[in-house]
């Protein structure tokens, strides 16, 4: 952390150039002694990444930003606020504190928070910004969080950890591929708490995570604007009951679907009988990640198009549904589609033997702001094209 960046003149420069090209700043000569052009460019890049993701930090005067990569890796304010609701008790330790966004939101719900960060520079930045943001109940420690808990005598009501995936691992990973190794230290951590919250990337397979962990009471699948952002694994000491999967969308209105894992493969009604004026439901990414495709239909009283088509139909609109809803304007066969001289619409492909870009090119489909062309398969095995207008985005 270069404290000279906090000088008023430098802060004014960063504010004035916050929309400038960071590459141009990096290649130019720095106008300040003891501050490199690369450091100035890094502050500008990080501020840009924080503008929408971390508005509290972006809009607070005097905040010091870490590397742009640290901003990419941190929780957004929206997801941090959601996680804070899952904390239990009066004390919490964040084992992998990072920039401090999660700790800041936990501190609004928990009386005493400990922020552990093994990187000295990042720990210093988080501590400094804690003062700027006037947080009174966070203790900052430049320590390995796991070792601090294991070797110390303190007991916490909640332990939170955001393990990082090792760089050499591909898209498919397990918790043992992350640092710190939570699965390997789980028993020792549970000796110091009654609740552990683990944040992982949404790529982690639910079954794989459950195979590695013990005492999982809940899995929260969190998405924003139809993009899964994180999985939250709630481990409660000595818990042995059914796992509750909670698919949550954090948009203008928070929506949740709660699923008991033992009930996720319930029965659903399939149908080929729908018509213009009916409504097509497309589940949000959080619901799809749950894998409870039949339960979705049963819970919202929808009929499913096909066992491998995660689309549903209804005669009415249910705005509590987490996902998109379309009004079916037309239903076309492939033969009928070929006869159309002009086609417009956003192309959606679900369980159809072609890719969206191939279909756009083949049928010369022009983009449309309001109309959608949904290429899919129905339960009798027929391929069908539904022309729809959007009624709900999220």
Q: Do you know the residue count of the chain?
A: 394
DSSP for residue 354: S
pTM of the model: 0.93
Is residue 45 within 8 A of residue 53, CB to CB? The reply is: no
Q: Does pLDDT of 292 surpass 70?
A: yes
pLDDT of residue 263: 79
The residues, any chain, with a CB within 8 Å of residue 376's CB and separated by 6 or more, are 305, 306, 309, 311, 349, 350, 351, 352, 383, 384, 385, 386
Give which of 233, 219, 146, 141 is closest to 189, Cα–Cα: 146
The phi, psi pair for 75, rounded to 5°, reads -65, 150
Q: Does pLDDT of 49 surpass 60?
A: yes
**Radius of gyration, alpha carbons of the chain:** 25
Give CA–CA dist 260/242, Å, rounded. Answer: 7
pLDDT of residue 167: 57
Q: What is the pLDDT of residues 74-84, one digit of tens each?
A: 999 999 999 99
158 or 22, higher pLDDT: 158
Q: What is the pLDDT of residues 12-40, one digit of tens each?
A: 999 999 889 999 999 999 999 899 999 99
pLDDT of residue 57: 97
Is residue 394 within 8 A of residue 249, CB to CB? The reply is: yes
């Amino acid at each position: 952390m270069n404290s000279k960046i906090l000088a008023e003149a430098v802060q004014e420069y960063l504010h004035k150039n916050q929309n400038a090209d960071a590459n141009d700043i990096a290649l130019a000569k720095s106008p300040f002694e003891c501050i490199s052009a690369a450091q100035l460019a890094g502050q500008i890049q990080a501020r840009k990444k924080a503008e929408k993701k971390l508005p509290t930090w972006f809009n607070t005067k005097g905040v010091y930003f870490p590397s742009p990569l640290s901003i990419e890796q941190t929780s957004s304010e929206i997801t941090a606020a959601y996680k804070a609701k899952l904390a239990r008790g009066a004390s919490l330790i964040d084992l992998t504190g990072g920039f401090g966004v999660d700790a800041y939101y936990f501190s609004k719900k928990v009386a005493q928070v400990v922020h552990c960060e093994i990187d000295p520079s990042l720990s210093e930045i988080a501590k400094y910004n804690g003062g700027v943001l006037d947080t009174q109940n966070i203790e900052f420690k430049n320590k390995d969080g796991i070792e601090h808990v294991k070797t110390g005598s303190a007991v916490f009501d909640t332990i939170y950890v955001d393990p990082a995936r090792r760089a050499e691992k591909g898209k498919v990973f397990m918790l043992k591929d992350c640092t710190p190794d939570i699965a390997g230290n789980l028993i020792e951590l549970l000796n110091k708490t009654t609740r552990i919250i683990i944040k992982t990337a949404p790529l982690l397979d639910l079954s794989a995570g459950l195979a590695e962990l013990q005492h999982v009471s809940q899995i929260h699948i969190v998405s924003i604007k139809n993009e899964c952002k994180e999985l939250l694994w709630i481990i409660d000491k000595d818990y042995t009951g059914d796992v509750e999967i909670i698919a949550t969308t954090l948009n203008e209105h928070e929506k949740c679907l709660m699923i008991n894992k033992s009930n996720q493969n319930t029965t659903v009604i399939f149908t080929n009988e729908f018509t213009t004026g009916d409504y097509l439901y497309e589940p949000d990414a959080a619901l799809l990640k749950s894998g409870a495709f039949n339960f979705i239909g049963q819970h919202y009283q929808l009929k499913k198009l096909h066992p491998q088509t995660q689309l549903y139909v209804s005669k009415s609109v249910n705005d509590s549904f987490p996902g998109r809803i379309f009004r079916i304007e037309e239903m076309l066969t492939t033969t009928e589609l070929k006869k159309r001289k002009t086609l417009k619409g956003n192309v959606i492909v679900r369980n159809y033997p072609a890719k969206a870009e191939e279909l756009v090119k083949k049928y010369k489909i022009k983009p449309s702001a309001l109309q959608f062309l949904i290429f899919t398969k129905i339960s009798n095995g027929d391929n069908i094209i539904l022309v729809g207008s959007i009624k709900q985005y999220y």
